[in-house]
Amino acid sequence: MGGVNYVSRRRAALQPEEPDEESWEELVPLPPSCPLAGTAAGSWGGREAPGAMLGKGAGGSGAKPAKPSFVSYVSPEEIHKKEPIEKEVNLHLLPGELLLCEANTVLKCVQEDGSNRGACGKLICTNFKIAFLGDESASDDNEPEFKNKIIGENDITLHCIDHIYGVYDEKKKSLSGQLKKYPEKLIIHCKDLRVFHFCLRYTKEEEVKRIVSGIVHHSQTPKLLKRLFLFSYATAVPTNTDIQNQTVMFDAIKDWRVELERTKGNMKYKVLSANEAYKVSEKLPLYFVVPMSLSEESILQYQGRGIPIWCWSCHNGASLLKMSAFPKEQEDNTLQMHKIFLDGVYKTINKPPYEVLKTDDLSSSLPSLQDIQAAYTRFKQLFLIDNSTDFWDTDVKWFSLLESTNWLEIVRRCLKKAIEVAEYLEGQNTNVLLVEENASDLCCVISSLVQVMMDSHYRTKFGFQSLIQKEWVMGGHCFLDRCNHLRQNDKEEAPVFLLFLDCVWQLVQQYPPAFEFTETYLTVLSDSLYIPIFSTFFFNSQHQKDTNTSGEGHSAQSSHFRFLTVWDWSVQFESKAQVLLNNPLYVEKPKLDKSQRKTTRFKHQRQLSLPLTQTKSSPKRGFFREETDHFIKNILGKRISKLINSSDELHNNFTEFYDSWHCKPVDFHGLLLPHIDGPGIKVWAQRYLRWIPEAQLLGGGTVATATKILDMIEEVQSLQKKMDEKHSLTVPQGRESLPMLRNSARLSSLFPFALLQRHSLKPVLPTSTWKDLEDEDDLAKRDDEFVDLSEVI
């Protein structure tokens, strides 16, 4: 508690300086080294900030003048009049969160039924979010049970805002920069694909000006890293908990050693601590793993470039490596030196005990980041729907529109690349070295996909989280730039992580029993990308995080801030809601010996079938020779025929690997290859369709069966318990039940997300067409109208 007191005291002391800092009119960029920057921004609200501010607000004490400089728009009296009464009911601010501006009598339009219904309320903008507070208290009996504790139904974090549009005389215009004219309606497209309509027609003009420019400013203008809400929050929240988390963070040398041991890579690879003070490179994590035979000098020579860095080892010893390529040099001399260096490196790791090395330059074999960004921009447009008419317009040509976005094709190519890599590792016993400029974008996608596919450990929840820590967070994926959290450079933006999640989703939906987590987990994880209270997705590298955490340099008091990680799901969800993130049908890894189990399964299989070598490969080779005959190729399937045309040994290997895997029974704890044919790649419906009322099914969707599954699991468990009691064995721990699935008779297919849209859960039946016709008296009149009209025609 002492910490809190300290913070609030400091806040009082700092307040006079604040207004200038928070002003968006005269934004003075502070040098990052400014000692106040981090602490000042962060110390704005202590834990009691909301209560304290509100309480004092009525009294008009020193807290009020501290309002940021938009005070200039409005006389202080006005604020005093309104605030105390309304805010006390609804507004919940997080520690460190500050109310920046607000507007009353804003109408939130609900577009779902074509008739513009709306709820009246207050629109506020804080340094964390935009929130709409309805007048009718939403928190009555209908409180959704799957609720995000941080982000409410009507909350949009500033980082979640994708685009803001203003409607001027029925015309939609994108809002940015300085506004000359203020719109009558505000449309906000969110990155989690929600669409909000705020009608400002009944709002006072000054308030409109204030809120619109406030929202536009705080969400659209470039920001400094230190101004992230992350820091305010971290300062305001007492550094209390040591999070007990089974997720391996890979920020300690021990984590890497354990990982090496787990994958049996420790014979050929070693953990380096050479980068401990970021002496080697700021892009690399503190600890990383390299081939044992690599000398320390060569690592230091080019700041870690040209060095194969270990990702993962396959059970047969083949390893997945990654490498940052050298920047494209003009000078022959440097080029030559690089080449010599690389040759040396390759020579080292091509020798025994290492396996043969295959390098794959991802920047040439996969779409560029620009392509990915462009495809996603087109793709998400299909789901960001301003009104139903738009939706139905696109609906007619749904499939071709979907195809033209090219997003699913990119997903397919990534999965295909991952299968190729898996084939080298598993099928050909070859090391694979992924090369990319910084080894932190597509490298992350492919290497983590390969690991999810090949290592069942990464299909558990904690394993998956550890994987993201290892490959993405420590691997130096530039989350800050790729998500464009700071709005500093639109060109750097690319949804690489989302692409990865989409690829994983394809696997999850094709093999649900193989994953401990559900698609809901992935959806929630993708949303967490925009919640700036977790440090996980708000830094470009470990180095950036470390330097910004501890102010100047790397020092002893590095625990100045304690950031939350996204892996602590209890921050966002109650435990009963967290149940939804776990797959009840996950087939847990059996305790008995793996090899033993395999043989029994295959034995049974053999009785039905011929050995694969005979039935499969021999006739196929025969077919391949005859390339001219279109028909024969087709008999073996379209995919093969397509690949024959390239007549590439590589592709033959790939196809054979892919086909023969799909011919075998699926082992949920072994290698998992996704279907990548045309019909196999699907749209991640839960993430992309969840806010669209038209796509909602009352009493339908997978939720409908989920209840049944949970019931059955419960019964199985209780029976098992009974049996165990009979045999006096230990009682297995029961799963937590899901009361919310039981309570309501009919859930929507969009559950858990649809619960946030309560209106759509009412039974839907037509009235509008009929209303006019109900009146019998009206009929005669109508009939006359028809006469006129038809005669005109």
- According to CB under 8 A, which residues from 461 to 520 bind other proteins? 510-513
Alpha carbon 737 to chain centroid, angstroms:
27
Cα torsion 287, 290, 293, 295: sign: negative
User: Helix, strand, coil proportions of the chain in percent (round to 5)?
Assistant: 50, 10, 40
- Single out the segment in contact with other proteins by CB under 8 A; choices: 81-89, 189-197, 396-404, 491-499: 396-404
Residue 455 C-beta: closest distance to other proteins, Å: 20
Instruction: Select 345 or 579, whichever has its Cβ closest to other proteins.
Output: 579
- Single out the segment in contact with other proteins by CB under 8 A; choices: 149-157, 192-200, 437-445, 679-687: 679-687
- Single out the segment in contact with other proteins by CB under 8 A; choices: 96-104, 112-120, 151-159, 459-467: 112-120
Binding mask 646-665 for other proteins (x = CB under 8 A): -------------x--xxxx
Residue 522 C-beta: closest distance to other proteins, Å: 16
Residue 551 C-beta: closest distance to other proteins, Å: 49
Cα distance between residue 354 and residue 217, in whole Å: 55
Residue 622 C-beta: closest distance to other proteins, Å: 4
Instruction: Select 142 or 559, whichever has its Cβ closest to other proteins.
Output: 142
**Single-letter amino acid, residue 405:** T
What residues between 610 and 639 interact with other proteins by CB under 8 A? 610, 615-616, 619, 622-623, 626, 629-632, 634-639
Contact between residue 431 and residue 318 where contact means Cβ atoms under 8 Å apart: yes
Choice from 77, 553, 608, 730 touching other proteins (CB under 8 A): 608
Residue 657, SS3? helix
What does the angle CA 339 – CA 345 – CA 350 come to, to the nearest 5 degrees?
A: 120
SS (H, E, C) 391-437: HHHHHCCHHHHHHHHCHHHHHHHHHHHHHHHHHHHHHCCCEEEEEEC
Choice from 37, 237, 676, 756 touching other proteins (CB under 8 A): 676
What residues between 160 and 199 interact with other proteins by CB under 8 A? none
Q: Is 506 left (phi over 0), alpha (psi -120 to 50) or beta?
A: alpha
Query: Is 1 among the residues that bind other proteins (CB under 8 A)?
Result: no
Alpha carbon 132 to chain centroid, angstroms:
24
Parallel/antiparallel/unpaired status of strands 117-126 and 129-134: antiparallel
Query: Is 677 among the residues that bind other proteins (CB under 8 A)?
Result: yes
Parallel/antiparallel/unpaired status of strands 288-291 and 431-436: unpaired
Structure token digits, residue 202: 């009944």
Instruction: Select 69 or 707, whichever has its Cβ closest to other proteins.
Output: 707
Question: Can you tell me which residue has the tokens 């024969």?
Answer: 632
Choice from 211, 419, 749, 753 touching other proteins (CB under 8 A): 749
**Cβ neighbour number for residue 33 with a 10 Å cutoff:** 8
**Single-letter amino acid, residue 480:** L
Q: Which helix (H) or strand (E) holds 269?
A: strand 269-272
Partnered with residue 167 across adjacent β-strands are: 172, 185
Instruction: Select 329 or 395, whichever has its Cβ closest to other proteins.
Output: 395
**Single-letter amino acid, residue 703:** V
Residue 452 burial (10 A CB sphere; 0-12, 13-18, 19+): buried
Binding mask 412-451 for other proteins (x = CB under 8 A): x---------------------------------------
Q: If binding means CB under 8 A, how many residues of this protein chain bind other proteins?
A: 117
Choice from 5, 327, 398, 617 touching other proteins (CB under 8 A): 398
What residues between 588 and 607 interact with other proteins by CB under 8 A? 605, 607
Contact between residue 274 and residue 590 where contact means Cβ atoms under 8 Å apart: no
Query: Is 609 among the residues that bind other proteins (CB under 8 A)?
Result: yes
Choice from 205, 399, 555, 646 touching other proteins (CB under 8 A): 399
Query: Is 792 among the residues that bind other proteins (CB under 8 A)?
Result: no
**Single-letter amino acid, residue 610:** L
Nearest Cα to Cα of residue 102 among 73, 122, 128, 121: 122
Instruction: Select 230 or 761, whichever has its Cβ closest to other proteins.
Output: 761
Residue 475 C-beta: closest distance to other proteins, Å: 29
Contact between residue 119 and residue 107 where contact means Cβ atoms under 8 Å apart: yes
Binding mask 319-358 for other proteins (x = CB under 8 A): ----------------------------------------
What residues between 771 and 790 interact with other proteins by CB under 8 A? 773, 776, 779, 782-783, 786-787, 789-790
- Single out the segment in contact with other proteins by CB under 8 A; choices: 21-29, 326-334, 395-403, 469-477: 395-403
Instruction: Select 240 or 768, whichever has its Cβ closest to other proteins.
Output: 768
What residues between 113 and 132 interact with other proteins by CB under 8 A? 113-115, 117
Binding mask 684-723 for other proteins (x = CB under 8 A): -x--xx--xxxxxxxxxxx-xx-xxx--xx-xx--xx-xx
Nearest Cα to Cα of residue 158 among 188, 201, 120: 188
Instruction: Select 515 or 567, whichever has its Cβ closest to other proteins.
Output: 515
Say what the alpha-carbon torsion angle 36, 41, 43, 46 is, to the nearest 10 degrees. Answer: 180
Cα distance between residue 427 and residue 659, in whole Å: 13
Query: Is 643 among the residues that bind other proteins (CB under 8 A)?
Result: no
